């Protein structure tokens, strides 16, 4: 509903308002409202809706993950990490929560913990696209640009429209000069240019799980 709501927000809002009036305690409706508001960049309203969902159902994993996602920009990474931790205490094998927490660890420069989460993901899905992307970010940070390029190649185009991955590979239409991708025969086939813009190029802060939910990677 949230994805179609972005195309017709007025109709989606009317539908959600009617659903909430019919069942005020419906957590799913409140989460859909939160996603719709987040998609419209109305973050305070999104936070209010997800808080209402958590008040009704404090152990709802989807609500905790969405709260963590929103908290990145409103309360900071450390606070967001707490929500992902809660979600994984309830559902330890939740792939989206593992990816979200790993991305948060990457942003916090806690690579060892990020890799521990990614190890769990790769044990089941060895070529998970978003997991490969996060590992590529960490490789690039250490100067292993060839290794990072190899990991991104293994995504087989799954993240071609995911902006952080595009930026990492130098294909961002907004920042076309941030990264330089050279021929694979070069000694350093994939190396960032040291510009002011490149300082944030490896940030994994954008929600990876949101990318999956919004259709920026394959099902």
Task: Give Cα separations from 178 to 142, 167, 175, 181, 196 (angstroms).
Answer: 17, 7, 6, 10, 9
| Alpha helices by DSSP H, 23-76 | 27-39, 43-56, 61-74
Most distant pair of Cα atoms in the chain: their distance: 64
Q: Helix, strand or coil for residue 14?
A: helix
Per-residue pLDDT at 162:
84
Per-residue pLDDT at 47:
95
Per-residue pLDDT at 160:
86
Per-residue pLDDT at 7:
57
Parts of the chain belonging to CATH 1.25.40.10: 1-72
H or E stretch covering 5? helix 2-5
Q: Going by C-beta distance under 8 Å and a sequence separation of 6 or more, which residues neighbour residue 37?
A: 43, 45, 46, 49
Per-residue pLDDT at 129:
94
Per-residue pLDDT at 168:
83
**27-52 as b/e: b if 16+ CB within 10 A:** bebbbbbbbbbbbbeeeeebbebbeb
Per-residue pLDDT at 46:
94
Q: Which fold has domain 1-72?
A: 1.25.40
Task: Give me the residues of the chain with pLDDT under 50, please.
Answer: 1-6, 21-23, 172-203, 205, 207, 210, 213-219
Task: Give Cα separations from 98 to 21, 94, 122, 208 (angstroms).
Answer: 35, 6, 11, 10
Q: Is 10 exposed, middle or buried (0-12, 13-18, 19+ CB in 10 A)?
A: exposed
């Amino acid at each position: 509903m949230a994805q179609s709501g972005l195309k017709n927000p007025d109709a989606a809002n009317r539908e959600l308002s009617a659903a909430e009036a019919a069942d005020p305690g419906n957590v799913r409706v409140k989460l859909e409202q939160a996603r719709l508001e987040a998609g419209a960049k109305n973050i305070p309203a999104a936070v209010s809706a997800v808080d209402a969902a958590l008040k009704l159902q404090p152990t709802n994993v989807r609500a905790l993950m969405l709260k963590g996602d929103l908290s990145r920009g409103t309360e900071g990474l450390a606070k967001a990490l707490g929500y992902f931790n809660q979600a994984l205490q309830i559902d330890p094998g939740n792939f989206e929560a593992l990816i979200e927490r790993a991305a948060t660890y990457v942003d916090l420069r806690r690579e060892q913990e990020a890799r521990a989460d990614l190890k769990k993901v790769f044990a089941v899905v060895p070529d998970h696209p978003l997991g490969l992307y996060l590992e590529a970010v960490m490789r690039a940070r250490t100067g292993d640009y060839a290794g990072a390029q190899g990991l991104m190649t293994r995504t087989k185009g799954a993240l071609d429209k995911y902006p952080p991955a595009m930026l990492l590979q130098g294909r961002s239409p907004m920042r076309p000069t941030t990264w330089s991708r050279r021929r694979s025969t070069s000694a350093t086939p994939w190396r960032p240019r040291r510009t002011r813009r490149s300082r944030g190029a490896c940030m994994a802060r954008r929600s990876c799980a949101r990318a999956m939910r919004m259709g920026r990677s394959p099902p």
